[in-house]
Structure 1
């Protein structure tokens, strides 16, 4: 339905991104045209995440929180931090830098 609302024809490789992440919210104001790469930048936090913070995990061996981001299929290490908030902020800064308006901070 969202492709039809946005005027895309069958076979058109352009994708539709739902800004709020809710694929049932097909208001035109909640949708934007994008490439597949941009659409993947806006992906949600995986439900299996143990930390519930996108791009952050706890390294028990080092007693530190680590932040990372994937850009162009490459994992970029953002650092180790004493608190989860510091790691979350590092991820948020990197997401804004690399993904711009498509950044999903989880």
Structure 2
């Protein structure tokens, strides 16, 4: 779960939707998570809260709090709720792995 959320934040940084305030990013990590189900049925969506840490050279750290809504996909991966489409249907996104991120996999 922590990896999925870190992947998502790296994707947001790649898209310019967030800009970590650290020089020369070394790694991205999630704090321990607090999660809770949004329903009583098995397979219900859930929310996890915590902090994302962007860690740079010289121990610079930028922290962003988060609490996304998630669900488990049929293939076992986790998807994050990113909003509704034009018809009002929920849109879920499985983020690309950090290894594909130009922001988080940079040397």
The TM-score with structure 2 as length reference comes to 0.26
The structure, 1 or 2, with the larger RCO (C-alpha pairs under 8 Å, 6+ apart) is 2
- More helix, by proportion: 1
Q: Which has the larger radius of gyration?
A: 1
- Taking structure 1 as the reference length, the TM-score comes to 0.26
Q: Which has the higher strand share?
A: 2
